[in-house]
Amino acid sequence: EAQVTQNPRYLITVTGKKLTVTCSQNMNHEYMSWYRQDPGLGLRQIYYSMNVEVTDKGDVPEGYKVSRKEKRNFPLILESPSPNQTSLYFCASSPTTSFEQYFGPGTRLTVT
Amino acid sequence: AQRVTQPEKLLSVFKGAPVELKCNYSYSGSPELFWYVQYSRQRLQLLLRHISRESIKGFTADLNKGETSFHLKKPFAQEEDSAMYYCAPPDQTGANNLFFGTGTRLTVIP
C-alpha cells in the first residue's frame, strides 16, 4: 500500500532532550516536507526537500533540523526541544511532476 | 506576504443547507489550486484540485481570476462533511511546495 508513515505517533518529552521523528514514504517521491499544525495558525512548513541531499527552510525552521540521505526517509530532528514546539507534526511527500501531496498520520509532540 | 486567505476560522451550517468555504489567493496568473480536508483524527487528504474540474463528495470549487478566489461549495451539507478544510495554492518559485491557508473548521449541525 502506497503510504507515508511517521514514528512515533505520540511523544511526551522534556525540555532539552534531543528527539527525532521519522518519516518514510514508499512511493519513490522526490519531494518531502514537514509541517506543524497549531490551532488558529493552520499548517506551517518547517523544512522541505526536493530530492536526496537537497533541503530548504520553510516558514518556521528555527529549532529544527532535517536530513535527506535516502529518497524514502526524511527525519525531523529537534536538538533541544522547548515547550513552544509542542504541536502536531505532519510529513508529506509528492512526485516533482505534481503538486499533490500525500500526508502521514501525524505525530503529536508534547514538550514539558 | 500573505499567499492565501481563508477568512473564516469556524463555520457552522445546518444539515441540508448550502455551504461555501472562502479562499482568496494573492498570485498572478492561474495557479493550480487545491482543497485539502482533514476529518477528525485523520491525516490530511486531497479533496479536489481546480485543474481537474471535478466534483468530489458533492463539493466543487471554481477559480475566479478576477476576484482571485477559489471558494469551495456544496449545495446540501451532510454531517460527515464536518472537518477542517485547507485551501492550498502552490509555490511559484519552482519548488514543489503548497502554501496552506489557516483553515476553516466546518461543523454541520444535524
Q: Are strands B45-49 and A102-103 parallel, antiparallel or unpaired?
A: unpaired
Q: What is the mean pLDDT of each run of 10 residues along chain A (112 residues)?
A: 93 96 96 94 93 94 97 97 97 90 96 96
Q: Which residue type, as a one-letter code, is found at position A37? A: Q
The overall average pLDDT reported for chain B is: 87
Q: Which residues of A touch B96 (CB under 8 A)?
A: 30-31, 48, 50, 94, 96, 99
**Residue A88 has what pLDDT?**
96
Using pLDDT thresholds of 50, 70 and 90, give the confidence band for residue B50. confident
Query: How many CA atoms within 13 Å lie on the side-chain side of A105?
Result: 9
Q: Cell numbers 477559489 label which residue?
A: B70
**Residue B29 has what pLDDT?**
61
List the single residue in A with minimal CA-CA distance to B37. A103
CA distance A23 to A13: 19
Cell numbers representing residue A61 in the block = 525552521
The answer to whether B96 faces chain A, any CB pair under 8 Å, is yes
**Residue B95 has what pLDDT?**
74
Start-to-end CA distance of chain B, whole Å, equals 39
Specify whether the CB–CB gap between A68 and A53 falls below 8 A: yes
CA distance A71 to A67: 10
C-alpha dist (Å) from residue A37 to A33, A34, A45, B47, B52: 13, 10, 9, 18, 28
Q: Which residues of A touch B100 (CB under 8 A)?
A: 35, 42-44
Q: Judge: A58–B97 Cβ closer than 8 Å, yes or no.
A: yes
Judged by DSSP in three states, B48 sits in strand
List the single residue in A with minimal CA-CA distance to B95. A50
Least confident of A45-59, B16-30, B67-81: B16-30
